[in-house]
Structure formats: structure tokens, C-alpha cells
């Protein structure tokens, strides 16, 4: 059960905040994009039509001694990483370039020879005793129906996109949508990843946030560029600097695409894909029309023509975004002074993504301070996520909040009783200021 994860109480808040931020930016900030929530179970023919039954596979190779199975590209990439670590940067780049051209040509014999010629070894057995390179389908299947003889095999969706395609006309007609328009969806996807590693980077059950943008055929190049730029703007709006991102154009295009690129983020494990932008042509709608024998056409009143729209897709992994935001936020700070050693772990999340926005901390458990703190909680709780805590010294409570990325802590002390002011402490600078308790909610909201 590797590559299957549960999120705890703060992880789920972080994930939800990222999802809402994406959802709102798609469906609120773009007036021509609406959302749907399609079922995970879909008619099995959907996956025939989409090409996933025939094409959604990865080239794999097995080591005959350890019986361990590898994705060919991961095996070669790990070899290139090692070369780079050993100071052979040019050789590493050549390995990747050679691999890319072999993959692009689907030259599986060539890939096997390449692995053997470079003496790439299995990490478990340490040998070069490899099988041929073979293709493995990544879809999970299960049975629909209660009696096994009657059951028919269905697939757990490997992408959320197909739920959007099969609903294209429902949404277009009921919403009187005019091209260009988009349909967005967030939901679970499942892939039987053979090599599943690196925490929530590559999972077998994960969440995608996808948007299909339906356009007039022939305009795909300009819309592809538009969405590349638009999505990069979204990433930068998370407060992550531009140098932590790069575009990577695909050499080997997926079976549905005529152009595709990844937005890569500089994870602690190096630059890796976090989002894909794909020009999917009319591949999906055309095939759904053929397999379902239902027209998937749109009548464009501006040019008086019927056509199957082309599609630009933006597809970002929610779990991978969580890992990106976590990696970017994580800081270890040395706060030692001459008198004493000190350090802290702090997650510097953007306020809008932080699991908890405000911690309310009465200095003591008595003298009416908890009652005042509860008053503040009651004002703030309906507006944003708050956390109340009485236990331990204020210093310890601050550090605990730093470690889960809470941007603001408010301390209620005896002075609060006299003049209605509180101390607000800022996570990143650790600066503290005295402000009226009545202004706390406004201050936090101004950062959202
Ligand atoms: N509908 C297009 C599509 O699914 P993809 O590049 O295969 O394209 C899109 O996946 C995004 O989904 C990736 O950029 C990545 O963020 C996320 N993703 C894909 N496989 C994943 C996995 N096994 N675990 C976590 N996230 C994954």
C-alpha cells in the first residue's frame, strides 16, 4: 500500500485552501469557466474512446535477479542524476537527451540496449540482468454489479478530464455557454504507478484540478500560449519566486496532444512537473462522438458553422501542489544569541493558504483572560480558521504555531482587561505589536 496517503487535521486544511484558491481563480475570476463534479465510475467504453485502454501505459523493465520492476524513464533518470552528482553534468544531459529520443520513437529494443550499454544496475540486486522493455497499463479496474458472473469490468478514472468531455454538451446547452468557454473539476484520479515514491509526489490515489477550455479549431496555438501564461501567473500569485519555476516542452506527446508542456517547480528532489498544459485538439470529443454515436458538435453563431471544438487543458495535481507549497514554506532558522542556543522550524505559508490563520492565546487560565479570548474567538471563527490554546508558556505556544505555519498569534493579557488592546505576533518576522482587540479580525482579513 505504498503511495497511498492520509492527510491529518492541518494537512487537510492546507489542501482545501489550495483547492479553493484554484477553484475560485478558475470559476470566479473567469466568467466563462464553470465547474462540475462528475462521478468516478464511468461507462467502460469511455476509456476505449479516450484511448486509455490502448495507450495509457508506461514502458517497464524487470530485473531478473531481484524481480524488481522499474519504469524505464525513472531508471535512466536516476542514472543521469548520479552522473550529475559525480560532476559529469554534460554526460548526464546527453543521457537524458538520448533517452528522450528513444522514448519519442517508442524504440523499446533501443531503450534496453541503452540500459545495458550504460551498465545501469538494479538498486536491489546490483546486476544488469534485465528483461525486455514492455508496456504496462496504468488503470485500476474493478467490478460493477453484485454477482461476479454478471459483473462487468470498469475502471477507476486515471484522469478527471473525461468526466468533463462526456458532459460537454450538457453544460454547454444548459448554461447557454458560448465558445470559448471552460469546464473545471477537482477530484480523485487513480493510477497503478509501478514506481511510486517521493511521498505525495507520485501516488496511486491522488487528486487533480483540471480545466478543459473549448475553442474554435485553428485557434489552439494562441489559446495554448494564453493558458501557459495564465497558469504561470497563478503559480507566481502563491508568492513563489519565478526562478523556482520553469516550462518543459514535451518531446514525446501523449496520444491526445498536438502540443504540451509542463510547469516544473524546483522541489528538494530537483525540477519536477507540477502541472501539465496540453493542446488536446478535438481528439477526445471526436472519439466520444464516434463511440457513443451522439453528436458532440457546437453551432458557432458568429461564423454560422457546426464543428467539434478543440480543447486546451490545464491539469495540476493537488497533492503535488501541497508538496510544492510545503517545500517552499519550510524554513529552519538559527535564532542563537551569545547567551543561548536557539532555533525554530517555521512554515512560511502565504496567509491565504495557511491551515490556521489566527491563534488566540490567553496569557493565563485565570483572571478573566480566557473569557476575553473566547470573545475574540467568537468574532473571528465564522470568518477564518482560528485556534484557541491555554496550555504552556506563550513562547512554546508561538513555536508550535510557527511549526504549522500560523501567520498571526494574539495574546490576551492583563492589559487587555484595562485598555482593550492585545499583542499580535507576526510569524515571519516574530515582531509583536499592540493593537485594539476590535481590529484583530480586520487585520487578518486584510491579508486574505
Ligand atoms: N488530464 C491530463 C493528465 O492527467 P498528467 O500530466 O498525466 O495529465 C496531470 O497529470 C497532473 O496530475 C500532473 O502534472 C501531476 O501534478 C498530477 N499527477 C499525475 N500523476 C500523479 C501521481 N501519480 N501522483 C500525484 N500526482 C499526479
The response to whether residue 137 sits with its C-beta less than 6 Å from ligand 1 reads no
Cα-only R_g, the chain: 26
The C-alpha atoms of residue 2 and residue 14 are separated, in whole angstroms, by 22
In this predicted structure, what is the pLDDT of residue 150? 62
Distance (angstroms) between ligand 1 centre and the Cα of 191 equals: 9
| CA pair distance 426, 7, nearest whole angstrom | 27
Name the pairing type of β-strands 141-144 and 152-155.
antiparallel
This model's pTM is above 0.75: yes
Pocket-testing residue among 140, 190, 315, ligand 1, by greatest number of atoms within 8 A of Cβ: 315
143-146 LR contacts (CB < 8 Å, sep 24+): 144/41
List Cα–Cα distances, 355 to 238, 293, 311, 351, 381, in angstroms: 15, 47, 35, 9, 13
Cis peptide before 429 (omega within 30 of 0): no
Q: Extract the C-alpha cell encoding 333.
A: 532558522
How far apart, in whole angstroms, are the C-alpha atoms of residue 440 and residue 445? 9
Q: Is 322 in the pocket of ligand 1 (CB under 6 A)?
A: no
Residue 182: how many other CB atoms lie within 10 Å: 24
Cell of 44: 467502460
Q: Which residues pair with 52 in a beta bridge?
A: none
Identify the CA nearest to 213 among candidates 158, 261, 171.
171
d(CA 262, CA 274): 7
Residue 221: phi and psi, rounded to 5, are -65, -45
One pLDDT digit (tens) per residue for the chain, 448 residues: 778 999 999 999 999 999 999 999 999 999 999 999 999 999 999 999 999 998 888 899 999 999 998 989 989 999 999 999 999 999 999 999 999 889 878 899 999 999 999 999 999 999 999 999 998 889 999 988 776 666 688 999 999 999 999 999 999 999 999 999 999 999 999 999 876 668 999 999 999 999 999 999 999 999 999 999 999 999 999 999 999 999 999 987 877 889 999 999 999 999 999 999 999 999 999 999 999 999 999 999 999 999 999 999 999 999 999 999 999 999 999 999 999 999 999 999 999 999 999 999 999 999 999 999 999 999 999 999 999 999 999 999 999 999 999 999 999 999 999 999 999 999 999 999 999 999 999 999 999 9
pLDDT at 314: 98
Which residues, at least 6 apart from 332, have a Cβ–Cβ distance to it below 8 Å?
343, 344, 345
How many distinct helices (H) and strands (E) make up the chain? 15, 21
Q: Residue 138 Cα, ligand 1 centroid: separation in angstroms?
A: 12
Rounded CA-CA distance 369/425 in Å is 18
Q: How far is the CA of 318 from the centre of ligand 1 (A)?
A: 9
- pLDDT at 173 (0 to 100): 97
Q: Which three cell numbers stand for residue 85?
A: 552528482
pLDDT for residue 126: 95
For ligand 1, whether the C-beta of 273 sits within 6 Å is yes
Amino acid at each position: 500500500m505504498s503511495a497511498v496517503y492520509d492527510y491529518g487535521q492541518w494537512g487537510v486544511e492546507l489542501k482545501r485552501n489550495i483547492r479553493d484558491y484554484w477553484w475560485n481563480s478558475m470559476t470566479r475570476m473567469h466568467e466563462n469557466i464553470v465547474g462540475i463534479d462528475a462521478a468516478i465510475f464511468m461507462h467502460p467504453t469511455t476509456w476505449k474512446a479516450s484511448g486509455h485502454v490502448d495507450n495509457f501505459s508506461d514502458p517497464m523493465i524487470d530485473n531478473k535477479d531481484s524481480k524488481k520492476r522499474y519504469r524505464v524513464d525513472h531508471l535512466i533518470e536516476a542514472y543521469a542524476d548520479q552522473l550529475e552528482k559525480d560532476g559529469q553534468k554534460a554526460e548526464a544531459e546527453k543521457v537524458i537527451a538520448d533517452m528522450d529520443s528513444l522514448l519519442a520513437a517508442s524504440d523499446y529494443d533501443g531503450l534496453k540496449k541503452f540500459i545495458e550499454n550504460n551498465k545501469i544496475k538494479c538498486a536491489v540486486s546490483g546486476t544488469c540482468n534485465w528483461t525486455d522493455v514492455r508496456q504496462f497499463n496504468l488503470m485500476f479496474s474493478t467490478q460493477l454489479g453484485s454477482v461476479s458472473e454478471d459483473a462487468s469490468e470498469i475502471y477507476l478514472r486515471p484522469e478527471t478530464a473525461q468526466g468533463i468531455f462526456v458532459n460537454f454538451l450538457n453544460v454547454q446547452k444548459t448554461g447557454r455557454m458560448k465558445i470559448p468557454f471552460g469546464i473545471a473539476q477537482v477530484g480523485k484520479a487513480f493510477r497503478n504507478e509501478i514506481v511510486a515514491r517521493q511521498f505525495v509526489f507520485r501516488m496511486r490515489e491522488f487528486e487533480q484540478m483540471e480545466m478543459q477550455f473549448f475553442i474554435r479549431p485553428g485557434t489552439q496555438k494562441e489559446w495554448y500560449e494564453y493558458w501557459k501564461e495564465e497558469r504561470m501567473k497563478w503559480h507566481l500569485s502563491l508568492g513563489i519566486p519565478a526562478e523556482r519555476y520553469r516550462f518543459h516542452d514535451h518531446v514525446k506527446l501523449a496520444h491526445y496532444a498536438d502540443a504540451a508542456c509542463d510547469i516544473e517547480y524546483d522541489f528538494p528532489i530537483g525540477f519536477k512537473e507540477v502541472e501539465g498544459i496540453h493542446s488536446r485538439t478535438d481528439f477526445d470529443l471526436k472519439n466520444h462522438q464516434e463511440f457513443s454515436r451522439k453528436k458532440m458538435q457546437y453551432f458557432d453563431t458568429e461564423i454560422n458553422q457546426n464543428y467539434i471544438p478543440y480543447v486546451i487543458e490545464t491539469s495540476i495535481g493537488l497533492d503535488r501542489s501541497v508538496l510544492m507549497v510545503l517545500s517552499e514554506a519550510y524554513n529552519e532558522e538559527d535564532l542563537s544569541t551569545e547567551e543561548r542556543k536557539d532555533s525554530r522550524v517555521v512554515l512560511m505559508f502565504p496567509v491565504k493558504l495557511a491551515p490556521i490563520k489566527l491563534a488566540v492565546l490567553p496569557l493565563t487560565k485565570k483572571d478573566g483572560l480566557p473569557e476575553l479570548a473566547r470573545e475574540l474567538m467568537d468574532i473571528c471563527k465564522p470568518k477564518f480558521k482560528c485556534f484557541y490554546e491555554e496550555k504552556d508558556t506563550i513562547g512554546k505556544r508561538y513555536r508550535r504555531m510557527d511549526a504549522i505555519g500560523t501567520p498571526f498569534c494574539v495574546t490576551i493579557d492583563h492589559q487587555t482587561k484595562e485598555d482593550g488592546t492585545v499583542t499580535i505576533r507576526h510569524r515571519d518576522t516574530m515582531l509583536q505589536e499592540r493593537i485594539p482587540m476590535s481590529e484583530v479580525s480586520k487585520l487578518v482579513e486584510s491579508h486574505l
